[in-house]
Chain A
C-alpha cells in the first residue's frame, strides 16, 4: 500500500500524469477536435468581456437563437456545451464576470490582473455529407486564455538582447510624445554613471520613478500602448519581486561594458533584464502562447480616434511588434501534431456599439488602416485575415432624433462614469487617417457607456454585434 502511495507521489512530482494529458490534448488538436483560440489585444481592448460573452452565447447555442450567422448554431446542429474550465489549474471566473454584467446596475469587469483559462466543450452533429461517415456526433474542445494585455508586449523581448531593447526604447523615448513626458527622467539618466557601483536604494528609487513614468504614459492625455516591460504596469504574482526593478538605459550605452563593476547599474540592469525574460516572459510564452490554431486580435479604434495621431501610431507600432511573436502558416497533419501554427486571423474593432450602425463599415475600414502592415505580413504567409467591427456586449441601443428638421441616427445608453442616461451622435468614423489639423478634440466624442444588463435567461442577437460572424469566421469550418 505504502509503495503505491509513494509511486503516486513520485508520478505526481515528476509531472508524468501531465505528460499523458498533454499528449491527449496534442492529438485532439492534431485531429482538429481541440482548437486553441488566441484572444489577443492590448489592455482595455475588451478581452475579458469578449471571452465571457463568447462563453455565454456558446452555452446557449443549442437554442439557436442568439447567433444567427454562426451556422452550426443557426442550423440547430449544436447539441450542448459544457464549461470544462474547472479542469484547469487557473479557471476563468466566468460566473463572477457574468454576475457583474447581470447585476443591476451592471458593471464592466475589472482589469484582468491574472492569467486564467477557459475550456469549453461543444457537442455537435456533423452537417450532412462525407463527414458523417466518421459518426454523426462529435465534440469540439475550445481553449481560450484571458490575461492582462500589458504582458503581451513583453513577448518580443524574448528575441532581443539587453542592448537591442535599450536601443528600441531609445528610439521610442526620443520621439514625441514620450520625449515631452519624460524630460525629467532623461536628464536624470544622463547624470548617472552606469559603470560605477550603485547601492540598492538608488537602484530601487530609479525603478520606481520609471514605473511611475510608465503609469503616467498609459493614462490620459497620452494613452500610449507600447509600454515595456508590461509587468511593471500589471505585476500579477510578481508584485514586489526584484525582477521588476528594470528600466532601459536611454542614454548611450557604455562603450566598455567589460569594466562595469558587478554591482554597477549596468550589470544589475542587464542581469535583471535576462532574469525577467527567463522567469516572467518565457513561462508565459511557453505555457500559453505557443500552439495556437486561430487568432482574434481585438483593437480599440475609438480610443485612438479620441486621443489623436500619436496614440494611433503608437498602437499601430505596438500591434506590429507583438504580432511578430506568433507563428502563422498552413498546417499539414504532421505539423498540427508537432507544432501548430495560426491558420486564420480576425482583426476585430471592438466597441462597435459606441458608434452608430451606419458607421460600422467606416470602422472596418479604419481598422484596416490601423493594422495594414500587420495584415500584409500575415498575408505573406498565405494566412487568411479579415477585418470586422464587433461588440461582444452591446451597451447602447439605436435611436433617432429630429434635429433642425432632419432625422439623425444616434445612440442611447448610460454613461460609464455616472450612470446617467444619454443620447449621443458620436461623430463619423473617418476612412482615412485624418490630417493633423482635423484631429482636434471637437471632431469625435466617443463616450464610454456602461453595459446594458445581460439577461439571465435566453440571449438574443440584439445583445451583441457580429459576434456570430466572428465565430463563424474563426470556427465555422471546424464545426462542419
Chain B
C-alpha cells in the first residue's frame, strides 16, 4: 500500500464525541482539507485557482501640503472663532453678568451639539468605510464556491449591525443560514433575504424624493431656485437612505456620501448611460406635448433617482446582485403622469 496516501481516510466516530457546529462559533473551525497534518495536493491547486481573499485597496494618496493647508486653516479659524466668542462673552459680562452667563450657556450648548454632531459624523464615516470593506469581501466570496470562508463576513455583519434598524432582519437571516451552503450561496442568500425590507424602504424613499423634486422643479416659478431645490431634496434623500441602512447620518456623513455619489455618477459606466438614454427617449415620446419646464422637471427627477440609486449601492452592506433597471423608468413615468395631470388641471 502507498505509505503516504494523498487523500484522507474516512473515519467513523461515536456519536457522543460530536459537537454541534452551530454552537461552537467561538472555537477555531478547521475543515478537514486544511488540517495541518496532511495537506493534499488538491488544496494547493485550489488556492492557485482562486484569487487571494483580500483585494488590496489602495488608499487615495493625499498630498502632504494639502493636509498642512487644511490644518493651518482649521487652527486659524478655530482660534479666531474662540477669540471672538471669548470677547463676546467678556463684553456681555461687562454689560451685565446675567447676559454674560446667558451667552456662556449658549456657547456651551453649541459646543456640545457640535461635538455630538462631529462624533456622529465620524461614526458614520467609519460605518461607510466598513460597508465598503464588507462589499468587497462579499464580492470576492461571490466568485468562490469554497466552504467556510464566509464566517468572517457573517460575523462582521452580525457585529456591525448590532443595535441598528437592520438587526432584526439580518439576525433572522443569519440564523436561517443552512449548514450546507457554500460561500457564494451564503452571500446570495443574505443578499436576497437579509435586506429585503430595507431595500423596499430605500427604493420607495428614492422614488418619493425623485417624483417630488421633479414636480417641484417643473412648477417652481424662478429658474435660479431650481438648483437649490434639487440640492435640498437630494441631501434629505441621502440622509434618509443612509438611515434606512443603519448608517448614523449627520452633515459630515452626508457630505462624504454626496462626494462618493457624485464620483460614482461622474464615472458611471456605459450601461448606465444607455439606460439613461433609454429613459430619456421614453420620456421624450411621452413629453412631446409638455412644455420645456416639464422636461426640466423630468430631468431633475431622473437625476435625483440616479443619485438615490448610487447612494443605495454605497450604503448597502452587500453588493446588489440584480441591477435596478426598472426604477428610473418607473419614476420617469410617474413624473410625467403627475405633470400631465396638473397641466390638464390648469388648462
Contact = CB atoms under 8 A, between A and B. Distances in A.
Interface of A: 68-69, 74, 128-129, 352-353, 356-358, 360-361, 364, 394, 397-404, 406-410, 412, 421-428, 430-431, 434, 437-438, 440, 442-445, 461-462, 465-466, 469
B3 interface: no
A357 B35 CA distance: 16
A449 to B, nearest CB: 13
A398 B36 CA distance: 22
B285 interface: no
A348 to B, nearest CB: 14
Contacts of A69: 185, 188-189, 192
Given A400-B18, A445-B12, A428 B7 contact: yes
A353 B180 CA distance: 9
Interface of B: 1-2, 5-15, 17-21, 24, 27-33, 35-37, 40, 42, 145-148, 176, 178-182, 185, 188-189, 192-193, 326
Closest 10 CB pairs of A and B: A445-B10, A427-B10, A358-B147, A398-B179, A399-B18, A423-B13, A425-B11, A357-B180, A361-B145, A465-B180
A364 B176 CA distance: 24
19 contacts: A69-B192, A356-B32, A357-B179, A357-B181, A360-B182, A397-B179, A398-B21, A399-B21, A400-B19, A401-B17, A403-B17, A408-B35, A412-B18, A423-B17, A438-B5, A442-B9, A445-B12, A462-B179, A469-B185
B193 A74 contact: yes
A459 B148 CA distance: 25
A119 to B, nearest CB: 30
Nearest to A465: B180
Contacts of B42: 430-431
Interface centre among B19, B24, B32, B189 (most CB of A within 10 A): B32
Contacts of B36: 406
Nearest to B6: A438
Contact of B32 (A358, A421, A430): A358
Contacts of A430: 7, 42
Contacts of B185: 69, 469
Q: SS class of chain A's interface: helix, strand, loop or mixed?
A: mixed
Contacts of B182: 357, 360-361
Nearest to B12: A424
Contact of A422 (B15, B40, B145): B15
A402 B8 contact: no
A477 B294 CA distance: 39
Given A399-B19, A426-B10, A427-B8, 8 more contacts: A69-B188, A361-B145, A403-B11, A403-B17, A425-B8, A425-B12, A431-B42, A461-B178
A69 B185 CA distance: 9
Contact of B35 (A74, A406, A440): A406
A466 B185 CA distance: 10
Contacts of B10: 424-427, 442-445
A128 B182 CA distance: 31
A154 B241 CA distance: 62
Given A74-B193, A401-B17, A422-B15, A358 B31 contact: yes
B2 A437 contact: yes
A443 B21 contact: no
A76 to B, nearest CB: 10
Contact of B24 (A128, A364, A400, A421): A400
Contacts of B13: 401, 403, 410, 423-425
A399 B179 CA distance: 9
A69 B193 CA distance: 10
A427 B182 CA distance: 18
Contacts of B31: 358, 409
A58 to B, nearest CB: 19
B148 A358 contact: yes
A86 to B, nearest CB: 34
B19 A402 contact: yes
Contacts of B176: 68, 461
A362 to B, nearest CB: 8
Contact of A412 (B15, B145, B193): B15
Nearest to B1: A440
B15 A443 contact: no
A401 B129 CA distance: 38
B101 to A, nearest CB: 62
B76 to A, nearest CB: 57
A428 B43 CA distance: 12
A409 B19 CA distance: 10
A77 to B, nearest CB: 14
Interface centre among A129, A406, A437, A465 (most CB of B within 10 A): A406
Nearest to A426: B10
A406 B30 contact: yes
Contacts of A402: 17, 19
Contacts of A408: 11, 32, 35
Interface centre among A358, A397, A444 (most CB of B within 10 A): A358
B30 A407 contact: yes
A462 B15 CA distance: 20
A69 B187 CA distance: 12
Contacts of B33: 358, 428
Contacts of B27: 407
A423 B12 contact: yes
A427 B7 contact: yes
A443 B29 CA distance: 24
Contacts of A409: 21, 31-32
Contacts of A399: 18-21
A407 B30 CA distance: 5
A437 B5 CA distance: 10
Contacts of B148: 358
